[in-house]
Structure 1
Amino acid sequence: MNVFCFPKISFNVGTFKSYEYLFGMKYSIQLFLLFLLPFILPAQSSITYLHCGRILDGVGGELTEQTIVVEDGKISRIEAGYVGAAAGAKVVDLKQSTVMPGFIDLHVHVESELNPRAYIERFTKNPADVALRATTYMRKTIAAGFTTVRDLGGSGVNISLRDAINEGYIIGPRIFTAEKAIATTGGHADPSNGRNEELAFDAGPEAGVVNSADEAWKAVRTRYKNGADCIKITATGGVLSVAKDGQGAQFRNEELEAIVTAAKEYGMHTAAHAHGVGGMQRAIKAGITTIEHGTLMDDETADLMIEYGTYLVPTLSAGSYVAEKAKTPGFFPAIIVPKAIEIGSQQKEIFTRNYARGVKIAFGTDSGVSPHGDNAKEFGYLVECGVKPMDAIISATSTAAMILGQKETLGQIKPGFTADIVAVLGNPLEDIHLLEKVDFVMKDGRRVK
């Protein structure tokens, strides 16, 4: 006789007895029922209804009392009012909240976080140590509402971290990474800087160091081979490199043009770390996508950025943080302290002037210099410097998505887009610092906070 009978599947006692004989073990009826559970219980719904008090859509639009329906990781529709949910669907009450696209930070370093031991730890920590620490940094980042980040240079662990997140092994934001940054010999991001004779080595394109157009091509191709999503160069000296000059240009024009051309041929956009005007202007004219920091930008360089359509990623968080920490004895090597004080103290004033002049901006913090998880403090710094709250949010949503080549999938609350969604209590257009207190985070349609 039949024991259970369901559509497309049936079992009888005789069949069950034969399974006992086949596997050589005595199955209980309880174990048999456990096997049947997937057929007995209804499938869990993958639909979520978000009842939103206010929506900022990422492109300047604002809606009130709406329902976002999320299905299979995407926004399937947006309806006026608080729509009743379908049977079995989840409902999230965000009626007192402002709902926005998941934030995008275009300048982070996922592998590290600045501390007084950071320079010696380059020689004492193994890649596994770096990777395990990085998992905690990424959890802090996504908990802060940043569902996507662009990593601009590390040791190569950043590739593995990106893949582990994509495959669901660890929790974290979606990562677009440059793998290792590209520098010149002795320049900012030359990994051999500051070493003694025993540890010194002549870094080449494999390590991200170039001294000719041909080597520039090889460095880009190597980044591509290693799995990079974009290319980052250090167009000038840096504040935190163990070198005296933090401003001077460090690439020749033909090297820059080779890098940008090669990156385009391999489907990658480009970012240039730059503090001084000489390196900035060369990079802009070569066709770089974004200038990172832009700390000492003058009017001529600002006009050049406007002419070429280059975006500035100001990273005000990093400038503020290093200027503060430079006052702490022993936090930085002595050679770094005067650079940190000089550049950090000027950054906000110069940014305010250049933004008012018309330079286009995209959101980035340089987290890893400043602490991971504090990314949203950048919104406050931007508003202090004259950016309207709505424009600051757009810089971290649709603008950032466009730079990443994801303008049709990320950065907007819109049907068909990936369901990366964050919410805060209250209205951040009235108090931008509310964005530092994100209490709801969804990535790919899954609630992670």
Structure 2
Amino acid sequence: MRIARLAALLAMLMAAPLAAAGAANHQYIQAGRLIDSIAGTMTQGQCIEVRGERIVAVAPCGPTPAGAQRIDWSAYTVLPGLIDLHTHLADAGQSADLAAPIKTSPQLTALHGAQNALLTLRAGFTTVRDVGTYRGLTDVALRDAINQGLVPGPRMFVAGAYLTHPGGGGELNGVVPNDQLPADMRLGVMRGPEAAAEKATFLFDNGADFLKLLATGAVLAIGTEPGAPELSEAEMRAAIAIARARGRYATAHAHGAEGIKAAIRAGARSIEHASLIDDETLQLAKDSGVWLVMDIYNGDYIDEVGTKEGWPEEYLRKNRETTDVQRAGFAKAVKIGVKIAYGTDSGVYPHGLNGRQFAYMVRYGMTPMQAIQSATIRAAELLGREADLGSIAPGRFADLVAVSGDPIDNIRLLETVDHVMKGGAIVR
């Protein structure tokens, strides 16, 4: 089975154009409809001029500029490249086998990551934030390989490892005694503010872009409860102080309200999941300007596929206890104006299906344009990269997605995109 998967991966990689090799120097892209994610509007008759990796002009279509290649996307709606802020590309993926991450060697984990990166890019997600891997720093290696043009994939911002307590939500629990796990699976395990600062320093020194703090227990971790606080406010504050000194930030995995509040008080920039958030904490998030990244699609996948495949009953029970209440919290967050960015927890479900969450965000209170903005300009704002990403405007990277039809009328069109460009290179 592993040989077959590797053969399929190699075939895909050989067939996929690398961004560095595929980018034309000068292109003129004719869009049928164009979504302006900043204004929240859609226009017609616009053309996008690209030189190298970046957009140089967006204006009503005219004659093809001298020396430019004209690309006819007049039958499509063109959007900025999509951004998923909660992925796990550099991992073996979720299954019924608790031991799968330890059974998967670091080398094979890296190859899984390359395959996952390609699937994600071809799905229209040209940028991702990878928020943790059991094999620490594998995400750093994958990001660097993509940036060097060795494998095709989205732009990656990576955490390096989970900052978590021994036996906490970021540990591989229930397989072997945790102190017998490989060292690369415990790079962020710590207890106490001093250790938190040391681990944060280590991760930044070894290539992490931001920190991932496990403020509460997890749904998909044995022996932890989503509502139970884990990292203390003091521990998170110590790690965040290191991040700020480096000009970086931290995001917090936090399901329960107490853990969310502690993470916000400690200075986290964003909260992942927020499944059990209450009204008081929603208001605190709004008042503090903290982002919520709520994965409201994958509860259905876990319930259906996890039940069929025999995932641990503890996982299924915790998923049932958090799915509907998380969606209710999401609807409240939309209604009161909390900042929300797109994140799916890809890796829990197969990579490449990231677009399935759009319909759920619309079902639970967003307009289609708001959902699109959450995965474009809003996600770029959370990253602090809105000058480069998240919109179709001069100076931004030429990261584009084209879909047949109008996603404002049918948001599910974003589940299967027709064309993808990353940095001026057509990858689909």
Distance 1:432 1:303, change over 3 A: same
Query: Percent identical across equivalent pairs?
Result: 38
Q: For the Cα contact (< 8 Å) 2:24–2:52, is it kept in 1?
A: no
1:352 corresponds to 2:321: no
Question: SS of 2:98's equivalent?
Answer: helix
- Which of 70, 78, 103 is equivalent to 2:82? 103
Match of 1:57 in 2: 36
For residue 349 of structure 1, report the CA deviation from its aligned partner.
2.3
Map residues 18-417 of structure 1 onto 2, 5 A cutoff: 46-59=25-38, 60-81=40-61, 83-112=62-91, 114-154=93-133, 155=135, 156-191=137-172, 193-197=173-177, 200=180, 207-328=187-308, 330=310, 332-417=311-396
2: distance between equivalents of 1:444 and 1:285? 38
Of 117-126 and 197-206, deviating more is 197-206
Distance 1:271 1:118, change over 3 A: farther
Match of 2:400 in 1: 421
Question: SS of 2:265's equivalent?
Answer: helix
Residue identity matched to 2:262: R
Residue identity matched to 1:174: R
For residue 205 of structure 1, report the CA deviation from its aligned partner.
11
Off by >6 Å, runs of 4+ in structure 1: 202-206
Question: SS of 1:361's equivalent?
Answer: coil
Residue identity matched to 1:252: S
For residue 270 of structure 1, report the CA deviation from its aligned partner.
1.2
Gaps of 5+ in 1: 1-43
For residue 334 of structure 1, report the CA deviation from its aligned partner.
3.0
Q: For the Cα contact (< 8 Å) 2:30–2:71, is it kept in 1?
A: yes
Higher RCO (CA-CA < 8 Å; seq separation 6+): 2
Match of 1:36 in 2: none
Aligned-pair Cα RMSD in Å: 2.0
Question: SS of 1:274's equivalent?
Answer: strand
Q: For the Cα contact (< 8 Å) 1:297–1:354, is it kept in 2?
A: no
For residue 203 of structure 1, report the CA deviation from its aligned partner.
7.9
Question: SS of 2:299's equivalent?
Answer: helix
Q: For the Cα contact (< 8 Å) 1:420–1:442, is it kept in 2?
A: yes
Match of 2:418 in 1: 439
Residue identity matched to 1:231: L
Question: SS of 2:151's equivalent?
Answer: coil
For residue 91 of structure 1, report the CA deviation from its aligned partner.
1.3
1: distance between equivalents of 2:329 and 2:221? 22
Distance 1:329 1:366, change over 3 A: closer
2: distance between equivalents of 1:352 and 1:383? 10
Of 201-210 and 424-433, deviating more is 201-210
Match of 1:38 in 2: none
2: distance between equivalents of 1:256 and 1:282? 8
2: distance between equivalents of 1:212 and 1:199? 18
Question: SS of 1:106's equivalent?
Answer: strand
What's the TM-score once normalised by structure 1's chain length? 0.86
2: distance between equivalents of 1:50 and 1:309? 37
2: distance between equivalents of 1:206 and 1:113? 16
Distance 1:197 1:406, change over 3 A: closer
Q: For the Cα contact (< 8 Å) 2:171–2:186, is it kept in 1?
A: no
2: distance between equivalents of 1:386 and 1:72? 39
For residue 117 of structure 1, report the CA deviation from its aligned partner.
4.6
Q: For the Cα contact (< 8 Å) 1:101–1:421, is it kept in 2?
A: yes
Residue identity matched to 2:28: Y
Q: For the Cα contact (< 8 Å) 2:82–2:124, is it kept in 1?
A: yes
